[in-house]
Amino acid sequence: MIAVGTPRRGLPIVAIATDLDGSGLLGEPIAVAPASDLVVTERTTFDRPGTYFIAVRATTQAIRDAGTAAGRVYNIARA
């Protein structure tokens, strides 16, 4: 489960991108309806035991038109 949130009165989340295989490469961004809190269910498995670092990048939008790249703010978290 991926849970993303913004501070109260923060910018709305408009997209997320994930690296669920620990490769260090984020997939294509997934557009979401603008929201201050978002929960997405994704599943991943690994063929061998080990330590894997997965990542999620949340994108917020400062300009009301979520279709434009202007005003986007990117934040990345690894777990």
Q: What is the mean pLDDT of residues 46-61?
A: 90
> pLDDT: is 11 or 49 the higher one?
49
3-state secondary structure the chain: CEEEECCCCCCCEEEEEEECCCCCCCCCCEEEEEECEEEECCCCCCCCCCCCCCEEEEEEECCCCCCCCCCEEEEEEEC
The type of residue at 7 is P
Number of domains in the chain: 1
pLDDT per residue as tens digits for the range 21-43: 888 899 999 989 888 898 988 88
Beta bridge partners of 2: 40
Q: What is the mean pLDDT of the chain?
A: 85
pLDDT value of residue 78: 67
Which domain range does residue 62 map to? 2-78
Count Cβ atoms below 10 Å from residue 60 Cβ, excluding itself.
Answer: 20
